[in-house]
């Protein structure tokens, strides 16, 4: 029975891995956008993390995940003589790679974590049924890579500790690679392994050569990582110049995040955000049960620490969360590595009736969150950006092709590389600026009536992409009901395309509009639209 359940959950994971939801701009702009521009020469932009004088993002852990699959696709298409692969294929291949990584490495690590066959089956199904596994873990986040590195770091620590007869040189070397890749991937990585890593000290004391293999391997991999980053950021530098002035991205990252004034630009949160808001969002009813277990000990020792808290994986997750809570910028995705760690060590003792209720609550929570985060959350950005070249081509059918400008408003930033080889399309990301400023941009971009009186085609190079829930645009959309001259606007928007599975949660304004009207607007008018802008003359 559990095998059929697990296979069903794998199918669900594949579905969400290939669904175009968009959870955070970092999943595109700190990985695929960088390498798609380098490999296929698609239009792309580098975020500030890669362009500052002291870059804070390393490419060392990103190369095998993004560059290798893209390079293989490029080689295959070049051998076929068909040019570059379409962006949609590249996008799905990268998502497929993330699915394979989580399917092989995460599930394998869970198998290693739990020695008891009965508990192992239940744990694998529990982790595989989490919406975090379906969505966050299959997206191209550095946090998703960190989850795999943390899990296998703990697996190797356990293997080394349990093998008391041998020095475990190979395991120490692999652990050193994971440690280096983890630090260069995210500077939060040590927070997860610092406490479990202390368990290695007795082993190193018994087997001094093992610490030597760990240290030398770590230095070697760190050298490769630093050299890779230096060559990436200084492509014209010679090997000697790279050795003299290396770029150490984890150090730059640490110095940047140590300055509280820098974190203000990313949003500040209270120090209890992870424990009181982010964990419930990720774990739902499982987190409630974990908290409840702390206060439901046996009658003889009511305040006894539950056995699951004493587990190395729970200690890793809890200690890391405490350390991460010191920093005032706290997002749910920072805790993604904690989800499989906590779920793999928590076993709630309950009656049959309680078990049914818990399973029901778990299923409802994860299905609801998966539909929201895996399908609708900014779900129209990727399909729309992929469709933009075709939309513009259809709109200009039979006319001279020219440069087009697309204004994106009230959405996450669209990945530029998804436009493919359509280099004549300019993307202007206006984010969430006030509606009046959007109209100012359109007024500057659209030709005046005196110009387009003899050439109306010039109006057809300006487009707007925005959520349908943005009621500000309604006044610019022509209706069958005639308006008085006083009500007529100077600009008209004509809808060309529409993608329904899109919700803009950043547009929730309960304070001004109230709960019911806000939900009616955002959910009832869900979708992302593409309009052609023209001046009314």
Lowest mean pLDDT among 184-198, 247-261, 302-316: 302-316
The conformation of residue 484, written as its DSSP 8-state character, comes to -
Confidence of residue 307 (pLDDT cuts 50, 70, 90): confident
pLDDT of 382 > 50? The answer is yes
Specify whether the backbone of 398 is left (phi greater than 0), alpha (psi in -120 to 50) or beta.
Answer: left
pLDDT of 51 > 50? The answer is yes
Lowest mean pLDDT among 76-80, 322-326, 329-333, 489-493: 489-493
Confidence of residue 167 (pLDDT cuts 50, 70, 90): confident
Calpha distance 472→151 (Å, rounded): 47
- The more confident residue out of 184 and 513 is 184
179-214: pLDDT as tens digits: 999 999 999 999 999 999 999 999 999 888 999 999
What stretches of 372-450 adopt beta strand conformation (E)? 404-408, 425-429
CA 228 vs. chain centroid, Å, equals: 24
Calpha distance 245→239 (Å, rounded): 10
3-state secondary structure 439-494: HHHHHHHCCCHHHHCCCHHHHHHEEEEEECCCHHHHHHCCCCCCCCCCCCCCEEEE
What number is the average pLDDT over the span 217-235?
A: 95
Check residue 164 and give its pLDDT: 79
Confidence of residue 486 (pLDDT cuts 50, 70, 90): very low
Check residue 483 and give its pLDDT: 55
Confidence of residue 81 (pLDDT cuts 50, 70, 90): confident
What number is the average pLDDT over the span 274-296?
A: 91
- The more confident residue out of 495 and 507 is 495
Check residue 395 and give its pLDDT: 87
**Are the C-beta atoms of 232 and 62 separated by less than 8 Å?**
no
pTM of the model: 0.92
Q: Describe the crossing of helices 117-128 and 2-17 by its angle, rounded to 10 degrees.
A: 30
Q: Nearest CA to 191 among 291, 330, 25, 24?
A: 330
Lowest mean pLDDT among 265-279, 392-406, 409-423: 392-406
pLDDT of 485 > 60? The answer is no
CA 260 vs. chain centroid, Å, equals: 24
Pairing of strands 425-429, 462-467: unpaired
Geometric angle at alpha carbon 376, from 70 and 526, rounded to 5°: 130
What number is the average pLDDT over the span 360-378?
A: 96
Specify whether the backbone of 284 is left (phi greater than 0), alpha (psi in -120 to 50) or beta.
Answer: left
Confidence of residue 515 (pLDDT cuts 50, 70, 90): confident
The conformation of residue 58, written as its DSSP 8-state character, comes to -
96-147: pLDDT as tens digits: 999 999 999 999 999 999 888 888 888 999 999 999 999 999 999 999 999 9
pLDDT of 428 > 70? The answer is yes
What number is the average pLDDT over the span 82-86?
A: 89
pLDDT of 315 > 60? The answer is yes
pLDDT of 175 > 70? The answer is yes
Helix (H, G, I), strand (E, B) or coil at 69: helix
What number is the average pLDDT over the span 418-434?
A: 89
């Amino acid at each position: 029975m559990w095998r059929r359940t697990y296979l069903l959950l794998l199918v669900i994971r594949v579905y969400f891995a290939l669904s175009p939801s968009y959870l955070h701009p970092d999943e595109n702009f700190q990985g695929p956008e960088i390498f798609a521009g380098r490999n296929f020469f698609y239009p792309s932009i580098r975020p500030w993390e890669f362009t500052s004088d002291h870059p804070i993002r390393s490419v060392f852990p990103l190369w095998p995940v993004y560059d290798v699959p893209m390079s293989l696709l490029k080689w295959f298409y070049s051998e076929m003589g068909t040019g570059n692969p379409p962006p949609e294929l590249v996008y799905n291949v990268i998502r497929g790679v993330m699915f394979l990584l989580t399917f092989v490495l995460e599930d394998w690590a869970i198998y290693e974590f739990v020695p008891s066959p009965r508990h192992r089956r239940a744990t694998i199904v529990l982790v595989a049924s989490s919406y975090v596994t379906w969505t966050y873990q299959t997206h191209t986040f550095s946090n998703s890579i960190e989850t795999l590195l943390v899990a296998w770091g703990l697996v190797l620590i356990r293997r080394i500790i349990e093998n008391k007869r041998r020095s475990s040189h190979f395991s120490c070397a692999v652990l050193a690679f994971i440690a280096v890749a983890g630090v260069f991937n995210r500077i939060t990585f040590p927070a997860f392994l610092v406490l479990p890593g202390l368990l290695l000290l007795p082993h190193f004391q018994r087997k001094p050569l093992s610490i030597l293999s760990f240290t030398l391997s770590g230095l070697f991999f760190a050298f490769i990582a630093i050299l890779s980053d230096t060559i990436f950021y200084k492509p014209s530098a010679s090997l000697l110049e790279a050795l003299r002035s290396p770029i150490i991205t984890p150090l730059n990252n640490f110095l940047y995040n140590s300055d509280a004034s820098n974190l203000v630009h990313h949003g500040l949160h209270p120090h209890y955000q992870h424990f009181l808001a982010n964990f419930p969002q990720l774990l739902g009813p499982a987190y409630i049960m974990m908290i409840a277990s702390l206060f439901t000990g046996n009658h003889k020792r009511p305040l006894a620490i539950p056995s699951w808290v004493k587990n190395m994986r729970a200690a890793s997750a809890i200690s890391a969360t405490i350390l991460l809570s010191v920093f005032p910028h706290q997002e749910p995705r920072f805790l993604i590595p904690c989800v499989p760690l906590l779920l793999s060590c928590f076993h709630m003792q309950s009656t049959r009736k309680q078990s049914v209720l818990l399973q029901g609550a778990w299923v409802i929570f994860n299905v609801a969150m998966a539909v929201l985060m895996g399908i609708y959350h900014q779900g129209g950005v990727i399909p729309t950006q992929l469709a933009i070249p075709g939309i513009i081509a259809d709109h200009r059918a039979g006319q001279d092709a020219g440069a087009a400008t697309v204004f994106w408003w009230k959405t996450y930033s669209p990945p530029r590389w998804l436009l493919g080889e359509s280099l004549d399309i300019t993307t202007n990301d206006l984010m969430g600026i006030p509606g009046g400023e959007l109209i100012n941009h359109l007024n500057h971009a659209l030709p005046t009536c005196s110009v387009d009186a003899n050439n109306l085609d010039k109006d057809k190079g300006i487009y707007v992409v925005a959520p349908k829930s943005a009621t500000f645009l309604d006044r610019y959309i022509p209706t069958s009901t005639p308006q008085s001259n006083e009500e007529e606007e100077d600009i008209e928007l004509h809808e060309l395309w529409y993608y329904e599975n899109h919700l803009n949660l950043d547009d929730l304004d309960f304070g001004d509009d109230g709960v019911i009207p806000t939900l009616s607007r955002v959910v009832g008018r869900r979708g992302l639209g593409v309009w052609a802008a023209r001046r009314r003359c």
